[in-house]
Amino acid sequence: MTYADIVLKLINEDDRYIIMTSENRAAFRALPPLIPKNFIDTGITEQTMIGMAAGLALRGRVPVVHALATFLTMRAFEFIRTDVGIGNLPVKIVGAVPGFLSDGNGPTHQAIEDVSIMRGIPNMNVFCPADEDDMLKGLKTTIQYPSPFYMRYNPTQALVEHSPLEIGKAETFGDGTDIAILVYGFLFGEAFKAKKILEEQGKSVRLINIRTPKPIDEDAVMKAVRECKQIVTIEDHLITGGLYSIVGELLLKNKIAADVLPIALKTWFKPALLNDVLEYEGFTAEKISQTILNNFQ
Amino acid sequence: MTNKKLTKLQNQALKVREHIIRMSGNGGCFIGASLSCADIILYLYKEFLNVSPENLSDPKRDYFFLSKGHDVPALYGTYVELGWLEESRLSNHLKTNDTIYWHPNRNIPGVEFHSGSLGHNLSVAMGVAMDCKLRKQKNKVVVVVGDGELNEGSMWEGLLVASAYKLDNLLIVVDRNQFQANMPTEELIPLNPLKKKFEAFGCEVKKVNGHNFEKMDQTFKEFPFQKGKVSVVIAETVRGKGLPSIEKRADRWFVNFKPEEVEGLLSELHSKKKTKLTSETIVAR
């Protein structure tokens, strides 16, 4: 089943679901002719699309809206916050090419603060799937959830099969106690490979796929903090407001100090093809594992 | 419109203005914009819209959005006259024991959606209008906007989309009181020729005196103005209408009047003799 298949099935089962886009059809090119009564393309108008989604939700609809993550979360931010957030309306906001996935587009298209600003909205939830399998496992659950959701659209091929999504529950791989790698979204794949490299170097590693930075799985994070010598957060996001900040907030809340190594962005990344971006910015599995080892020793 | 109905509307409009004046003390309100919009809101609810807190689940009921959220005193004053809101609650204005503050919110029966940030409720109303179209329902969807609000890009973005989707169940009413917060619109960000601007965006536009119930009745009865087009009414109004000491005054936009000034304005409403005012606008946008 593809993203479009799942959405189509949901619409065929329940007329409340409606697909909207500001002229971004990458996830469902073949879908519009099949769902003429459940599809609205508002053109290049992120603000109007979000306002209309709120209006549709007032009528009992569940709009799933699509646009590039930067324009959606930043151009239309105040509409999301004011119409969807204050209204606590079940609008599902799907941001395309988030983080490194905007590869060659340049800084205008780099959504590397989206998690920070979306999680700052009361009532809003955030889902950052690790890959396509993770996204499809969680899609129905997030769409059917009664509150607003922001999702980082991620069609990258999966390295592992994921479990069904439980909102607010992370997915933990391994029970190593030297190093705990906390990651969300696209970089899960590199982190998964980095775990193997580190294990070949004799380290015991656990990998935590955060899945929903909000609501965060506090139990999984604090268990890792208690059991592991080194915590690492990895994200294709600015170091402010994302996972490193979330872990910091949890440590303060629990009055615990820990050694946390952030692997995150300090400014906009070098635009290039995706693999070259990872190499240049130091986010390949090899570079991640080297950064961790350098810090660990 | 019968003389009896006209007289009743005029008397109720006076009562709404009394509510507005009383809400301009104890913390104040956006009195000028509320007075310009009072007749429009009262007319729409009394004569044009089929909506009340009792019929919200009726698939045929209409929708009203107040996008220029400053007009809370006119909106809630109208709700009191319609019997939807206890008059005593208006004295809870700005108190923590109620939810009556400077902008509308859905805790007040009758309020379809919150507003306050300008340029929002057009697209929200469009979402409702779109859904009515998709479901082949005939509900009227009305959104009242300010002329100053037309500075916002989202208004014109919304019009493009509303025209593209031929939302002829949507009616936009502009409270054309010629002022934005601190300045006459034509001196700060000119809107004229406003009718031509809306027409260029694909709307069918009518102008009307927004204080004349008979003229409004003739105009609104023609809705939808043209099949396949968004209808726009430019309601020509006077900021501060009904109080000569406030009318068309940029310095009486938001005012927190002293108790004796409130009493003076209440008598001015009926006598039209200017009362002595010293309070002026105390907050700027």
| Alpha-carbon dihedral angle through residues A214, A215, A220, A224, given to the nearest 10 degrees | 40
Largest CA distance in chain B: 55
User: Two tokens at B262?
Assistant: 């409130």
Does residue A83 sit in helix, strand or coil?
helix
Q: Is the peptide bond before A33 cis (omega within 30 degrees of 0)?
A: no
Q: For residue B243, tell me if it sits in a domain.
A: yes
Q: For residue A165, tell me if it sits in a domain.
A: no
In the beta sheet, which residues pair with residue A98?
Answer: A111
- Any chain A CB within 8 A of the CB of B57? no
Give yes or no: residues A136 and A229 share one domain. no
Say how far apart CA A29 and CA A17 lie, in whole Å.
17
Give yes or no: residues A49 and A142 share one domain. yes
pLDDT score of A66:
98
**Mutation choice for B interface testing from A18, A38, A42 by most B CBs within 10 A:** A42
Interchain proximity B127–A37, CB inside 8 Å:
no
Total of domains in chain A: 2
* Mean pLDDT score, A99-122: 98
- Whole-Å CA distances, B283 to A262, B238, B254, B262: 45, 21, 7, 19
Give yes or no: residues A275 and A242 share one domain. yes
Query: Which residues lie below 8 Å from residue A261, measured CB to CB, with a gap of 6+?
Result: A230, A231, A232, A233, A291, A292, A295
Residue at which a domain ends, from A102, A122, A152: A152
Total of domains in chain B: 1
Interchain proximity A55–B123, CB inside 8 Å:
yes
Q: How far is B124 from chain A (nearest CA, A)?
A: 4
User: pLDDT band for position B285 (50/70/90)?
Assistant: very low
Domain around A239: 171-296
Give yes or no: residues A194 and A57 share one domain. no
Phi, psi of B15 (to 5 degrees): -65, -45
Give yes or no: residues A119 and A176 share one domain. no
Q: How far is A4 from chain B (nearest CA, A)?
A: 21
Domain around B134: 3-271
Q: Is the peptide bond before A213 cis (omega within 30 degrees of 0)?
A: no
Give yes or no: residues A11 and A129 share one domain. yes
* Mean pLDDT score, A9-31: 96
- Over residues B189-227, the pLDDT tens digits come to 999 999 999 999 999 999 999 999 999 999 999 999 999
Q: For residue A166, tell me if it sits in a domain.
A: no
Q: For residue B280, tell me if it sits in a domain.
A: no
**CATH code of the domain in which A53 resides:** 3.40.50.970
Give yes or no: residues A126 and A222 share one domain. no
Query: Which residues lie below 8 Å from residue B45, measured CB to CB, with a gap of 6+?
Result: B51, B64, B78, B82
Interchain proximity A55–B134, CB inside 8 Å:
no
ipTM over 0.90: yes
DSSP 8-state class, residue A18: E
- Over residues B173-184, the pLDDT tens digits come to 999 999 998 899
Give yes or no: residues A184 and A98 share one domain. no
Note whether B21 and B31 are within 8 A (CB): yes
**CATH code of the domain in which A227 resides:** 3.40.50.920
**Mutation choice for A interface testing from B124, B137, B143 by most A CBs within 10 A:** B124
**CATH code of the domain in which B238 resides:** 3.40.50.970
pLDDT score of A17:
98
Give yes or no: residues A77 and A175 share one domain. no
Percent residues over pLDDT 70 in chain B: 99
Percent residues over pLDDT 90 in chain B: 94
Q: For residue A158, tell me if it sits in a domain.
A: no
What is the reported pTM?
0.97
Give yes or no: residues A117 and A177 share one domain. no
Q: For residue B283, tell me if it sits in a domain.
A: no
User: pLDDT band for position B282 (50/70/90)?
Assistant: low
With a cut of 80, say whether residue B283 has pLDDT above it. Answer: no
User: pLDDT band for position B250 (50/70/90)?
Assistant: confident
Give yes or no: residues A85 and A178 share one domain. no
Q: Which helix (H) or strand (E) holds A57?
A: helix A46-58
Query: Which residues lie below 8 Å from residue A31, measured CB to CB, with a gap of 6+?
Result: A4, A7, A8, A19, A25, A39
Note whether A116 and A61 are within 8 A (CB): no
Interchain proximity B127–A86, CB inside 8 Å:
no
Higher pLDDT, B281 or A1: A1
Q: For residue A290, tell me if it sits in a domain.
A: yes
Say how far apart CA A281 and CA A186 lie, in whole Å.
15
Q: For residue B51, tell me if it sits in a domain.
A: yes
**Mutation choice for A interface testing from B99, B154, B172 by most A CBs within 10 A:** B154
- Number of other residues whose CB lies within 10 A of the CB of residue A73: 25
Say how far apart CA A110 and CA A101 lie, in whole Å.
8
Give yes or no: residues A205 and A143 share one domain. no
